[in-house]
Amino acid sequence: MTHWRQNADPFLAPDLGRSALLVVDMQVDFVDGGTAPIPGTSAVLPAIARLVDAYRESAAPIVHVVRLYAGDDVDLCRRRVIAAGLGIVGPGTAGSQVAPELGVPPLDTECLLAGRLQAVSPTEMVLFKPRWSAFYRTDLDDHLRRWRVDTVVIAGCNYANCPRATTVDASARDYRVLVAADAISGVDARHLEEAGRIGVLHAETDEIVAALQPPELEVIS
């Protein structure tokens, strides 16, 4: 995967002044002490918190993307364990909430399951995704287009699953994609190299924070 500062292709270079931060699946059940902790997820929480704080201070868009296992609308590979009674990110449970280190208010389950965005602030939202990708069966693309976002910075839980699917779908929609490599659990050098083949770049959290500028975004009504 090509490092963002080594890339000379103007079609791929991230524009942080027109970027949104996507924080994927950073929920209590997936960190240490949760029902289904993902190795390394608690360890990346400080880096993700720095990104969230920087985007808040710059009034740049943030979308917290969450999973909620409601009824039988569950990935095929997890239906057996959910049906057997394993409670993972159940709507309204403590485990479904965004990790408290990120400062997100309690989830509005009814709003999210209805497919609506829950507002944290005018530039910060929560979005429910029913499957791996944040773009699948959601209004994320429309929301980002209204903000004139052309670059997404991706952080969160378990790269091999939901962050990777979100990365591929963002690229397929012609967003410039920057992976916050030290702010995603489960990512390794092979993942980064493979993503680089579709033009996805990467950086460390400190580099992104240092380069972040006030947004050049205009909301389209």
How far is the C-alpha of 172 from the C-alpha of 112, rounded, in Å?
25
Please give the pLDDT value at position 17.
92
Please give the pLDDT value at position 2.
44
From 89, 70, 72, 90, select the one nearest 80 (Cα to Cα). 72
Task: Look up residue 209 and give its two tokens.
Answer: 């924070």
Q: Is the dihedral of CA 180, 181, 185, 187 positive or negative?
A: positive
Please give the pLDDT value at position 198.
95
Question: Exposed, middle or buried, 221 (CB in 10 Å: 0-12/13-18/19+)?
Answer: exposed
- pTM surpassing 0.95? no
Please give the pLDDT value at position 29.
96
Domain 4-211 has CATH 3.40.50.720: no
Q: Average of pLDDT values for 56-83?
A: 88
Mean confidence (pLDDT) of the chain: 92
Model confidence at 188: pLDDT above 90: yes
Q: Average of pLDDT values for 95-118?
A: 97
Higher pLDDT, 183 or 215: 183
pLDDT tens-digit map of 149-172: 999 999 999 999 999 999 999 999
Higher pLDDT, 212 or 66: 66
Domain ranges of the chain: 4-211
Which residues on adjacent β-strands are paired with residue 17? none
Please give the pLDDT value at position 1.
40
Model confidence at 130: pLDDT above 70: yes
Model confidence at 80: pLDDT above 90: no
- Read off the amino acid at residue 154: I
Model confidence at 10: pLDDT above 50: yes
